[in-house]
Amino acid sequence: MSHPLFNITGNALRIILILLIPAFITDQALAEAESPHCIRQLDNGAINWSTGQVLVTGKAPPEANSEGQPVPMPGSARTQATRNIINILKQIRITPDLSVGEYASSHDVILAGIEKTARDAMITRQVYTSAMDVEVRMETRIFGGFLQLVLPDHIRQIPKIADQKYHPRTKPGSTLAGVPVNRIPYTGLIIDARGLDLDPVLYPTIVSEEGKEIYSSLFISREFAVQYGVAIYLCDMESALAARRIGSHPMVFKALRKAGNKTGAIVVSMADAVDLEKVTERHRFLKECRVIIVADQ
């Protein structure tokens, strides 16, 4: 015996889908509001700075065919969503004083790469209304090829660090080179930047109060920066402490302020900078971009 649902006519089913959409959107909005992820809403889309996802929508009304009947236009909706991805990608800031769009304006190769990133985006939802309007949701990621295009050239490949039997679960008493017996080696870095009204960027830098760089291109290997991002942003400290990215024993610093110059670097205390310099294993976890910045939602 067939289920009653499958006896519903096509138009009636479309109406049911439309009635369900507001609840779906509301639930999604509530989930995002309560999420530890740092999500920045923009026109026709959003950037999830915790996962590197770019999410957009595209909409298109029906067009009349030769007989005057409305015909849905999913291709037009996808085209609009693709344009929205391009616009959002261009709005992303590489550094506080430089957007992707500004950087790409004089680099045809980068512009072409941005367009390819948008064309290759995945359709995650396609909905038809009772009026034959089409709404398409598409998704892409900034990690990978996009970051390879736009990260500064001075972030270069760092030669392989000599194997020190590094492992995020190393216990006291281990023979990790450079780490004293009875000290658990550090596995990553968390910067608590809440309260600074920090806007996420692709290439955040961290400096001491004296302006000395403690996390910048000098410490980062491009291989890891491209694949995982220079850092990710979370909007909840508990989630940051539990994240696999920074292992089981991260260092945690409280950011003091943003630098007043155009770099907009995150400033930490001299004491924290000195503590980091004393940690020999920092060379590995900074090289591998095991860094999380906790920002305001």
Listed as ranges, residues in the chain with pLDDT below 50 are 1-34, 163-176
3-state secondary structure 72-121: CCHHHHHHHHHHHHHHHHHHCEEECCEEHHHHHCCCHHHHHHHHHHHHCC
Q: What does the alpha-carbon distance between residue 160 and residue 282 come to, in Å, rounded to a whole number?
A: 14
Q: SS3 for 257?
A: strand
Q: What does the alpha-carbon distance between residue 44 and residue 94 come to, in Å, rounded to a whole number?
A: 21
Q: What is the pLDDT of residue 131?
A: 84
Q: What is the pLDDT of residue 117?
A: 94
Q: What does the alpha-carbon distance between residue 121 and residue 140 come to, in Å, rounded to a whole number?
A: 5
For the stretch 227-257, pLDDT in tens is 999 999 999 999 999 999 999 999 999 999 9
Contact 229, 62 (CB under 8 A): no
Q: What is the pLDDT of residue 32?
A: 42
Q: What is the pLDDT of residue 110?
A: 93
- Angle, alpha carbons 36-292-266 (nearest 5°): 115
Q: What is the pLDDT of residue 103?
A: 94
CA distances to 123, 235, 248, 266 from 251, in Å = 39, 17, 10, 16
Element (H, E) at 277: helix 270-278
Query: Which residue type sits at 86?
Result: I
Contact 202, 94 (CB under 8 A): yes
In sequence order, the β-bridge partners of residue 141 are 53
Q: What is the pLDDT of residue 161?
A: 56
Tokens (6 digits) for 276? 């980091």
Contact 47, 39 (CB under 8 A): yes
Q: What is the pLDDT of residue 129?
A: 87
- HSE-CB at 257 with a 13 A cutoff on CA atoms is 7
For the stretch 14-30, pLDDT in tens is 333 333 333 333 344 33
Angle between helix 108-119 and helix 74-91 axes, rounded to 10 deg:
140
Q: What does the alpha-carbon distance between residue 123 and residue 121 come to, in Å, rounded to a whole number?
A: 7
Q: What is the pLDDT of residue 262?
A: 81
Q: What is the pTM of this model?
A: 0.80
Q: What is the pLDDT of residue 178?
A: 54
Do the strands 188-192 and 206-208 form a parallel or antiparallel pair, or are they unpaired? unpaired
